[in-house]
Amino acid sequence: MELTEILQRRRSIRRYTGDEVPSADIAKMIEAAGIAPSGSNLQNWHFTAIKKRPLIKKIAAAAEGAMEDIAGRLDPVDKTLADKFRKFSSIFTFFFADAPVLIVVMSRAPALTGFKEMEMAGLDASRLYKKSPGMQSLGAAVENLLLRATELGYGGCWITSANYADTRIEAIIQEETGFDKPGYYMAALLAIGVPDESPKPLRRKPLEEIMTIVE
């Protein structure tokens, strides 16, 4: 498949057939992630791919528990917002419970170049957080992974909407796999499988809106 075709074919897939994803294919996806560029070549990522159904369900239950904790506290304050949160989560988060593969993406935040220097020079360096090279590097790796998945005939969805359940999910991963890389935290989940849907085309911003060429 040509790169342009892979770029166009990649869509967020949230429904999967029950077909198995061989571990060799998962390894190819993670290998693609691993060759992404990263600030100072720090490769600040780790991917835990889970195929074990009961473990995927356990993580989904932990995320649902965290969501319900938040929604339950919000109920007396703003019931409409709480219910909206529940509804959003049921559509855009918990579908991962039925994915054949769930990848827990871990990252760590490298030091921000110039941060210490600016602070010591008496300047406000807080805006550097918004441009976090660590997160930019992780985004490159995740996109590589999803593009390779597309090339192999799979579909996936990048999920950050379960990040409020991060500490619960990290504890499960630690307990089940012994993962203990210092400084690493959960940054996203990826649900992967053989697509069982063809999403409608989404409107993209016209090129003129996102591009400026100065000649």
Between 137 and 161, whose beta carbon lies closer to ligand FMN? 161
Token reading at 12: 């967020």
43 in contact with ligand FMN (CB under 6 A):
no
90 in contact with ligand FMN (CB under 6 A):
no
12 in contact with ligand FMN (CB under 6 A):
yes
104 in contact with ligand FMN (CB under 6 A):
no
CA 146 to chain centre: 10
Contact 198, 213 (CB under 8 A): no
120 in contact with ligand FMN (CB under 6 A):
no
Burial class (CB in 10 A: 0-12, 13-18, 19+), 129: exposed
C-alpha count within 13 angstroms, C-beta hemisphere, residue 96? 34
Q: Which residue is nearest to ligand FMN (CB)?
A: 161
Between 26 and 63, whose beta carbon lies closer to ligand FMN? 63
Compute CA distances 166 → 64, 91, 183, 203, whole Å.
Answer: 12, 19, 14, 31
Closest CB 77 distance from ligand FMN, rounded Å? 23
The correct pick among 66, 104, 157, 172 for binding ligand FMN (CB under 6 A) is 157
Q: Which residues in this chain contact ligand FMN in the complex, by CB under 6 A?
A: 11-12, 14, 92-93, 157-161, 199, 202
